[in-house]
């Protein structure tokens, strides 16, 4: 389906109303609706929130919760998914991550998960897993913080990705 220009000669005063004209109008409306639907789907998926960790974080005592990884959300959003992905495998331990939000400028933080994402060592490079969200509505100005609950020794690169959509 594609947009088709309506022949202006069909619109002259006194011309008969033709079925072809209405077919063309319908076709164009259907085409427009398809395009708008695709566009809505595209713009609804925003660039994800990424917490990126590089280096031997496991040398520090876990849990690591001291706000080293913090983002202030600039507008109302709905979180849609959470994925933890390691880049390099470790030699011991399990990487267990939490993301907490604060709606009081950091006075208190609460988890967004009912089941946190975690990856045990030994599964190879680029292992990934998802977490189960229990909190999805994050308001403009709220803080999101990555906490490392337990570490995977030897792992030095991982990312936690939150996908989201804008919310009015």
Partner 1 sequence: MISKGIYPRTLNYGLSDSSGSYSMSSSTPAQITNLSQAITTSGNPVFVGLVSASGSSPGYFGIDGTTGGDITFLRDSTAIAEILISNQGSDLIKITPSFWHIDTPAAGSYTYKAYTNANVADTIYIYNMKLFVCEIPIITT
Query: Rounded distance, CA 120 to CA 151, Å?
Result: 9
Query: Rounded distance, CA 152 to CA 95, Å?
Result: 5
Measured from the CB atom, the residue of 58 and 109 that comes closer to partner 1 is: 58
Measured from the CB atom, the residue of 25 and 70 that comes closer to partner 1 is: 70
Nearest to 132 by CA among 109, 158, 112, 161: 112
Measured from the CB atom, the residue of 56 and 106 that comes closer to partner 1 is: 56
Query: In angstroms, what is the minimal distance from the CB of 57 to partner 1?
Result: 4
Nearest to 68 by CA among 77, 55, 84, 81: 55
Structure tokens at 69: 């990884």
Query: In angstroms, what is the minimal distance from the CB of 134 to partner 1?
Result: 21
**Position of tokens 């959003």?**
77
Query: Rounded distance, CA 47 to CA 44, Å?
Result: 10
Query: In angstroms, what is the minimal distance from the CB of 127 to partner 1?
Result: 19
Query: In angstroms, what is the minimal distance from the CB of 74 to partner 1?
Result: 8
Structure tokens at 55: 């280096």
Measured from the CB atom, the residue of 66 and 105 that comes closer to partner 1 is: 66
Q: Which residues bind partner 1 (CB under 8 A)?
A: 47, 49-60, 68-71, 73, 91, 146, 154, 156
């Amino acid at each position: 389906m594609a947009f088709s220009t309506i022949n202006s000669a069909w619109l002259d005063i006194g011309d008969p109303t033709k079925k072809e004209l209405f077919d063309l109008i319908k076709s164009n409306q259907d085409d427009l609706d398809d395009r708008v639907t695709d566009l809505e789907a595209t713009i609804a998926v925003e660039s994800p929130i990424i917490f990126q960790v590089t280096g031997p974080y496991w040398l520090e005592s876990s849990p690591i919760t001291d706000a080293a990884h913090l983002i202030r959300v600039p507008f109302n959003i709905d979180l849609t998914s959470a994925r933890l992905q390691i880049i390099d495998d470790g030699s011991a331990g399990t990487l267990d991550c939490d993301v907490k939000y604060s709606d009081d400028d950091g006075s208190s933080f609460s988890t967004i998960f009912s089941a946190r994402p975690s990856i045990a060592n030994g599964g190879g490079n680029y292992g990934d897993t998802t977490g189960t969200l229990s909190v999805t509505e994050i308001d403009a100005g709220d803080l999101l913080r990555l906490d490392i609950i337990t570490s995977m020794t030897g792992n030095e690169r991982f990312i936690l990705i939150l996908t989201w959509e804008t919310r009015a």
